[in-house]
A and B are shown apart, each in its own frame.
Chain A
Amino acid sequence: MIAAPDFESLVTQYYESLYQFAFSLTRSEADACDLTQQTFYIWAAKGHQLRDVTKVKTWLFTTLHRQFLEIRRKQTRFPHQELDEAGSDLPAATPRPGGQLDGAVVLRALAQVDDIFQAPVALFYLEDCAYQEIADILEVPLGTVKSRISRGLGQLQRLLADHLPAADAAPET
């Protein structure tokens, strides 16, 4: 039987990737920090309920995603923030050598992708998660995840076409 990881080890191992996922969803440093911190505190309170400790990563990402959806559902309480307003939190876009993309450019493009595709696309790129893992995190069937990633990637690549030297835009899906 594998022992459950202690809190500090868990934070050390996952805080960066959880923050990256949160930031790619919210484009706000403060909100991404809050989501990441809240996820670990939920773990501190409820993590002992997880029977299969090999699923810790999936549990953390699922919890963060649920928190994000919960906040979005409360958007009547949350003033809507246009992307331009959130711009100060996005890393400054700086010219990069050919073939390289700036993180801010990628996130601005992701923000224009349909909401439902954003989380699967972010996990696809950030975590190199297997499709089944992404399906588990987002709590949707495997086929749905593949379809959402495919369509999301298509949208993202078309939006970034001008920034990807010599790359063909993805075909319409």
Chain B
Amino acid sequence: MNTEQAKEILQLYRPGRADAADPEVAAALACVEQDAELRRWYEQHCAAQQAIRDGFRQIKPPAALKEQIISERPRLSLPVRRRVVLLAALAVVALLAAVPLWLTRQATPPEDTSFAAYRSRMVGHALRGYAMDLETNELASIRDYLKTQQAPADFALPAGLEHATRTGCALVSWHGQRVAMVCFSSGRTLPLNQTSDVWFFVALRRELPDAPGSTPEIAAVNRATVASWTQGDKVYVLAVDGSADLLKQYL
């Protein structure tokens, strides 16, 4: 084995893994012991690999993601008897299905596009922490930014929000559509890494056909209190990190 062949093999070698048991890798590592130039290359290669690996591992999930996944878990469990009946029915359907269907790979379940799922996702996004795209208290700047990002910008603020302290805005993705998220502060003392505790989400009505009507519907979602309504071609969700009393100040 020459130096170039050894380098080619060691390019994919990760020290500390079972890769070393591979006879080719073992032979290449033996070359490293005998070839000073190859050893120098190998040491540099390992250092570079470690630096890149460390870089990847700096990716950290948002602090509340785990809590959100667990708290928003869909409750799908059925009583055992019903599950058996359902499985039997599915088995019959499967038998009747065409062979190509039987061979079809595991399909993705339909996406949950309901308004409840949308509201839950938006609230979860606000509560778990996010980066604001634009930090400003200027409503005109917020509208301009949202417009340039093809997000709903010509929204109607409820009277209670007109004079609330704006902190900025961000975009949230909902099944490929851009939702406008306008952030406010109630003035309460907030944790160090939190600048907002009132959020106003604007989405297009056509994306949420089962959204509430024109009268605000109040609900508790996670630890937030939320009002939702439809006006014109838009669906509005107003969420506060607090009680219904706080929420009503902004309606």
Contact = CB atoms under 8 A, between A and B. Distances in A.
A4 interface: no
A157 interface: yes
Given A20-B56, A88-B133, A7 B109 contact: no
B73 A156 contact: no
Nearest to B56: A125
Contact of A88 (B60, B73, B131): B131
Contacts of A8: 70
Given A78-B176, A167-B45, A46 B66 contact: no
A58 to B, nearest CB: 13
A1 interface: no
A170 B109 contact: no
Interface string A110-149: 0000000000001011101011000000000000001001
**Secondary structure of the A side of the interface?**
helix
A45 B130 contact: no
B76 A79 contact: no
B65 interface: yes
Contacts of A74: 176
A34 B18 contact: no
A67 B108 contact: yes
B84 interface: no
A29 B108 CA distance: 22
Interface size grouping (class) on chain B = 35 or more
Nearest to A156: B52
Interface string A137-173: 0000000001001100110110010011011101100
A77 interface: yes
Contacts of A7: 70, 73
Interface stretch (B9-17, B156-164, B192-200, B243-251): B9-17
B106 interface: yes
B220 interface: no
A15 B66 contact: yes
Contacts of B172: 30
B223 interface: no
A157 B48 contact: yes
Nearest to B51: A101
A24 B59 contact: yes
Interface in A31-69: 31-34, 36-37, 40-42, 44-46, 49, 66-67
Name which of B51, B70, B74 has the most chain A CB atoms within 10 A of its CB.
B51
A36 B65 contact: yes
A29 B133 CA distance: 13
Interface string A87-121: 01101000000011111011100000000000000
A166 B44 contact: yes
A33 B62 CA distance: 8
B143 interface: no
A62 B172 CA distance: 25
B65 A19 contact: yes
Contact of A15 (B41, B48, B69): B69
A57 B66 CA distance: 17
A126 B57 contact: yes
> What are the 9 tightest A-B residue pairs by CB atom distance, in nearest-first order?
A103-B58, A106-B55, A101-B55, A19-B61, A167-B48, A77-B176, A78-B176, A125-B56, A20-B59
20 contacts: A19-B65, A32-B61, A33-B62, A40-B73, A74-B176, A77-B176, A88-B133, A100-B51, A101-B51, A101-B52, A101-B55, A103-B55, A103-B57, A125-B57, A128-B14, A130-B17, A130-B18, A146-B12, A153-B11, A171-B7
